[in-house]
Structure 1
């Protein structure tokens, strides 16, 4: 008799056991498919985060390495540490490294200050309280940038150019971009020439430097932060933020750009792939960089902040898939073994009538596979909604845990500061807190293969006992 007909009659004749097998397979396949869907959605979200923030490699001075090489002096308590010319990272060297094929973007900033002059005064709608010393705060905050468009405030839309143009690598060294409130207060427009005083203390005179640097206004920008109506130190007021070229910022430090260009504190390179760090280091060495004094390290804090919780959710989903698959196989194998024990008489009669042992095993396999196929269809219909709910709950828990952990972490010392006073910036990005579950043919194929694999293992492993039996043993020895 055809084994497929026998399997069909068996499934119809024992509907209770058929429904039980279908239900068990439905639970297994639903959990497995949900795990696949959560893992796929998490991978897509993580890849999207990586594409948005990239992986940033930072090149900056390692003061300890510089001191060990004899290029600087450490702080001894009485005198602060000093950095010699060997500790200067120059823009022309970084420009060479920026040409590396693995660097998607490159930027560097020179932080400086500038004192107001007769031609350019600070924007300060509310004066300082009477008697307050504002010598160290009545300054413009000057940033020397390679590309103004890559500065966070301009990149995220908080600031925008309203007249002229922004700074780029081809800008003239004396170009400056000022905020429109400063421009209105001083009646300035694009193309005007202004002077700023060096924002450093003159060690010989014991006071602020009187040296002036000339700039030409190339652009005027608007900052979205409005005046508060109360006193704010000028250097902390966003309207007094000015942007110049790295060379211009170097001059505002009281220095002249060396043959190697502006002196930088650090440079950043956005890599196309985290694995490209080695290639970037090789290109930096080829450009002439000393990576012992100016090491390059990957700062993937922002990516980890964004994708950390969702990656942990994906790991948990993967673990769930394996646990459910293994546990499901074991449970099904025990159920099928028990079912075969109950059907010993049926098997003995079929064997005595001349039925081949492999066909008996095949009949059981067809029965289980039929139940599995039905369950896979039901699971495919409802798993997307179940996976969305489970995934959102798991992700919410991981995000909450990540935020609690981040709140308990302090800032870290900046290795470019010999006195340990500067702190490294911490990422302000919020973790990914949602995922988009999408059911595709690949996911159905994966759970189908998993379900059928479980069915085959759960049937074949206990079914091998059939191949060792003969009709006499089955019919005379009972259980």
Structure 2
């Protein structure tokens, strides 16, 4: 009788053993399929997170490197008198150099930022509740140094594209009248002001306002209002409430050339920073490599920062889940092969007489092993079929539970980091929003808040997952059967039958 036919008859005759093997194999297949599906979902979710946040790279002065160099210089000084005090100077970026990087193929957009404070000359700023009484007071106690900050009552946010700033892209600001500032307005004296500031001073699109420098009283600039926006931002920190210029209603968007004019001649043709937006977030590293290869930026002074902290924060729980599910696949595969191997081994021991008879009538030992493999493969096919029908539901439940646990752990870690002055405590620079393309809004999703940009695991069993499960299942079946079956080669039919007698 053909060994394949004997295998089918054996599976049918030994229902109890076959059901046990089917149950064990089904559990193994469901867990393996769950792990594979969760891994696939995690990869898709990580890619979705990149698309949500976009890829941004910021070119700015390397403040950390400067501080490190000053620290090393102080440590190498011979005496306390020779040690220089820390200086928080900042070297601006040359616009000409920043513009050269905009020619790289990975980009979908860019924005330049130049920020300064100024004094309102022809209009009244919006006063905060505490600014009038504490304009020269330090929130931490004592007097603030008179460095011009106390005289400033508006903030000039110099940009190339206002619709590509974080406030507008994140929904914290929206245009109510007029038009956005774009690259067409570079070199022109135009501005966009906040709705409350406009109403309090009875200003509208087409009117002109005047601002003055706080460091040089002879420097004044008249700008034409081309747009009015409405902000939902509020200044809640004590420092912001102590300075009128930091009131969100007193933020005036202007071309960066206007902000530079207020800063003085030394800042002509410069910017504080440049932000570049990737057409594909995966091209971030290649953009940085190409930018360095152009050799137009002095990277001893400046740095290109990928700004991926938020992305890393979002995908950390997902990566943890993916890593855990990968370990599940490995552990279940190994454990499953061992458990099935033990079951097969016990079955082989119970069937010595059957094997002795078959060997005595001339059946080859290799075909006996083939029969055992076919038997377990029959069980494997049914187990894989059941797993493919139920695996998606199990994987979805497991994935949601794992992601929930990882998100709680990540949130707790982030809270601890922010509490003790970690990455969460950063000075806002503004104007580093999502890309507006080379001509305005478009391409990327922008620098979304962590709360706004959420990523879920959409666990779905794919044909690729089923193919992998089939391969792993068959591998488990063969290994679990082949290793115990090697004992067949040591069997002698005469000894088996005589022992049985």
TM-score band w.r.t. shorter chain? 0.7 to 0.9
1:197 and 2:212 aligned: yes
Which residue among 97, 100, 103 is the counterpart of 1:96? 100
Q: Tell me which residue corresponds to 1:43.
A: 43
- Could you say which residue in structure 1 is the equivalent of 2:25? 25
Q: Deviations over 1:202-241 (max 9, x none)?
A: 5xxxxxx35211212221112235899xx95532332211
Match of 2:399 in 1: 391
CA–CA separation in structure 2 for the residues paired with 1:27 and 1:422? 52
Counterpart of 2:468 in structure 1 is: 446
TM-aligned CA distance change 1:476 to 1:59, over 3 Å: farther
Partners of 1:102 and 1:280 within 8 A in 2:
no
Residues 294 and 478 (structure 1), Cα distance of their counterparts in 2 relative to 1, 3 Å cut: farther
Deviations 1:220-270 (A, max 9, x none): 112235899xx9553233221111111111122234653xx2332x32333
C-alpha spacing 1:106/1:467, structure 2 compared with 1 (3 Å):
farther
Partner of 2:182: 168
The answer on 1:121 being equivalent to 2:124 is yes
CA distance in 2, matches of 1:92, 1:170: 17
Give 1:65 shift: 5.5
- Contact 1:55-1:303 within 8 A present in 2 as well: no
* Match status 1:153 vs 2:138: no
SS at match of 1:295: strand
1:395/1:433 contact within 8 Å kept: no
Identify if the C-alpha distance between structure 1 residues 274 and 77 changes in structure 2 by more than 3 Å, giving closer, same or farther: farther
Q: How much does 1:14 deviate?
A: 1.4
Q: Distance in 2 between matches of 1:2 and 1:214?
A: 98
Is the Cα contact below 8 Å between 2:53 and 2:448 reproduced in 1? no
Q: Measure, in 2, the Cα distance between the counterparts of 1:109 and 1:17.
A: 73
> Paired residue for 1:206?
none
Tell which deviates more after alignment, 274-283 or 106-115: 274-283
| Aligned partners of 2:92 and 2:267 also within 8 Å | no
2:492 equivalent in structure 1:
470
Structure 1 length-normalised TM: 0.85
- Secondary structure at the aligned position of 2:302 is classed as coil
Looking at structure 2, the residues matched to 19 and 64 of structure 1 have their Cα atoms a distance apart, in angstroms, of 66
SS in 1 for 2:331: helix
- Quote the residue 1:373 is aligned against: 381
Q: Which residue of structure 2 aligns with residue 143 of structure 1?
A: 157
Residues 348-368 of structure 1: per-residue CA shift (max 9 Å, x gap): 101111222222112111111
Could you tell me which residue of structure 1 aligns to residue 325 of structure 2?
Answer: 317
Partner of residue 450, structure 2? 429
Q: Name the structure 2 match of 1:205.
A: none
Q: TM-score, normalised by structure 2?
A: 0.82
1:187 partnered with 2:202 = yes
User: 2:459, 2:422 → 1: CA distance?
Assistant: 37
Contact 1:413/1:423, CA 8 A, preserved across alignment: no
Deviations 1:304-327 (A, max 9, x none): 111110111011000100100011
Contact 2:234-2:247 at 8 Å conserved across structures: no
2:410 paired with 1:402: yes
Does the CA-based 8 Å contact 1:309-1:432 persist in structure 2?
A: no
Q: In the TM superposition, what are the counterparts of 1:46-125 in structure 2 within 5 Å?
A: 46-63=46-63, 81=87, 83=89, 87-118=91-122, 120-124=123-127
1:125: how far off?
8.1
- Quote the Cα distance in structure 2 between the aligned partners of 1:226 and 1:407: 22
- 1:126-275 equivalences in 2 (<5 Å): 133=136, 136=150, 139-173=153-187, 174-198=189-213, 200-202=214-216, 209-225=217-233, 233-255=243-265, 257-258=267-268, 261-264=269-272, 266-271=273-278, 272-274=280-282
Q: Which has the higher contact order (CA 8 A, sep 6+)?
A: 2
Instruction: In structure 2, list runs of 5 or more residues that go unmatched.
Output: 75-80, 138-148, 431-446
Distance, in Å, in 2 between the alignment partners of 1:281 and 1:150 is 25
Tell me the CA shift for residue 189 of structure 1. 2.4
Q: What SS does structure 2 have at the residue aligned with 1:92? A: helix
Aligned length: 457
Q: What is the distance in 1 between the residues matched to 2:454 and 2:497?
A: 64
Tell me which moved more, 12-21 or 458-467.
458-467
Deviations 1:435-475 (A, max 9, x none): 11112222222212211111111111222222343322433
Contact 2:186 2:256 (8 Å CA) reproduced = no
Cα distance per residue 1:23-48 (max 9 Å; x no partner): 00011001001111111111111100
**Aligned-partner Cα distance in 1 for 2:68–2:456:** 48
Q: Deviations over 1:168-189 (max 9, x none)?
A: 2232322211112222222322
Q: Distance in 2 between matches of 1:93 and 1:151?
A: 21
1:131-180 C-alpha deviation (Å, 9 max, x unpaired): 86587275112211122122111102221112221122232322211112
For the residue of structure 2 that corresponds to 1:460, the secondary structure is helix
Pairing 1:294–2:302 present: yes
- Contact residue 100 and residue 280 of structure 1 kept, 8 A: no
Give the alignment of 1:333-372 within 5 angstroms. 333-372=341-380
